[in-house]
Amino acid sequence: MAPRNTQYDKLFVLLSFEVRFNYNKMKYYTPVLILLLTGLLVSCNNDDINKPANGFTELNIQNCLVPVSSSELEVLTWNIEKFPIYNENTIIELAAIINELDPDLIAMQEISNSEALDALLAKLPGWEGQIAISGSLNLAYIYKTGEVEILENSTELFEDDRSAFPRSPQMLTARYTGGEPITFINIHLKCCGGEDNFNRRKDASVKLKQYIDTNLADKRVVLLGDFNDEITGDSLNTPFFNFIADSLNYTFADMTIANGNETHWSYPGWPSHIDHILLSDELYGSEIKTETLTFDTCDPAYSMIISDHRPLIITLTGF
């Protein structure tokens, strides 16, 4: 949650006072108040993403990091809430976490500022990124160029289907240190409860499976991101039951997390587990482990500075 803006608070108090004090006099104050409001809006929206982080305390998340290997592929899915929610502080702290954790590839959701993504990459030596701009909350990949070779640059799928896909899925094909190609599909599906939203996610799941079955049938595929729904239960409880029912060809690497204790779920604010990593059968036997990185339990400020979501990390080998 972003910090309160005391400038707005003072203005609203002033407006309320004038209305209560003398409604008839408002016609004289209205032009002045409009100018004041306009000035405050301009001032508040001129926050430079590169402004110094004065008086800011670094996050203490050391105990929530997990070890990674130089001989295995570590991939994250991470909804980085309206990045950057805390301006330069978010960029600084996220760069510090990534440098400390040292994964190989990250699929990101909710990138609201492409310049901020560039600023992040500038703090990550040896990293590059690709962003798919399809709205105000965009998808992106960032990756270590010394470990990950891009074979096919990112492309957007289902660009004309905003009902099933408010954000177009972002597909990228890469390989790790000369290994076999893997096609990643980064998604951020429709949020929120209600039958209509459930059906939109279900429609997206049907179309994604049909696309993979038809176009990537013999490929190593990782479908990952913010699915905005759970994967437990039957077809009445999860819109992704079509993937679950086809266990010969697909498996959710985080199913154990989904069926486990809520302390390891990806969205602690509800709580629910709505961020997922799905593997095609060509990657069966390649997964070493899949974990939730519970940074907020090490430092509660994580939720204010980085995101209301926790990232998932999967370690893959032998492909």
Q: Do 129 and 261 fall into the same domain? A: yes
Q: Do 186 and 242 fall into the same domain? A: yes
Render the burial of 250-275: b for 16+ CB within 10 Å, e for the rest.
Answer: bbbbbbebbeeeeebbbbbeeeebbb
Distances (CA, A) of 316 to 66, 245, 294: 15, 23, 20
Residue 123 in tokens: 């703090």
155: enclosing H helix or E strand: strand 148-156
pLDDT band at 3 (very low <50, low <70, confident <90, very high): very low
Task: Please enumerate in sequence order all residues whose Cβ is within 8 A of that of 167, keeping only pairs 6 or more positions apart, or say none.
Answer: 109, 134, 135, 137, 138, 139, 187, 188
Q: Do 222 and 296 fall into the same domain? A: yes
Q: Do 104 and 180 fall into the same domain? A: yes
pLDDT tens digits for range 113-128: 999 999 999 999 999 9
52 located within any domain: no
| Count of structural domains, the chain | 2
Q: Do 200 and 246 fall into the same domain? A: yes
What is the model's pTM?
Answer: 0.84
- pLDDT (0 to 100) of residue 56: 62
94 located within any domain: yes
Instruction: Let me know: does 190 contact 211? Beta carbons within 8 Å.
Output: no
Q: Do 201 and 82 fall into the same domain? A: yes
Domain carrying residue 118: 62-316
Please list the alpha-helical segments (H only) found in the chain: 6-21, 26-44, 88-101, 114-122, 195-215, 241-245, 255-258, 295-298, 302-305
Q: What is the CATH number of the domain that holds 264?
A: 3.60.10.10
Q: Do 18 and 117 fall into the same domain? A: no
Q: For the residues of 172-186, what is the DSSP string, one character each?
A: EEEEETT---EEEEE
Averaged pLDDT score across all residues of the chain: 87
- pLDDT (0 to 100) of residue 31: 40
167 located within any domain: yes
- As a whole number of angstroms, the distance between CA 80 and CA 84 comes to 8
pLDDT tens digits for range 220-278: 999 999 999 999 999 999 999 999 999 999 999 999 999 999 999 999 999 999 999 99
- pLDDT (0 to 100) of residue 244: 98
Residues 298-314 have a mean pLDDT of 97
- pLDDT (0 to 100) of residue 134: 83
Task: Please enumerate in sequence order all residues whose Cβ is within 8 A of that of 317, keeping only pairs 6 or more positions apart, or say none.
Answer: 71, 72, 73, 286, 288
- pLDDT (0 to 100) of residue 55: 54
56 located within any domain: no
Q: Do 295 and 185 fall into the same domain? A: yes
Q: Do 218 and 79 fall into the same domain? A: yes
Q: Do 164 and 194 fall into the same domain? A: yes
pLDDT tens digits for range 15-69: 333 333 333 333 333 443 333 334 433 333 434 444 444 556 799 999 999 999 9
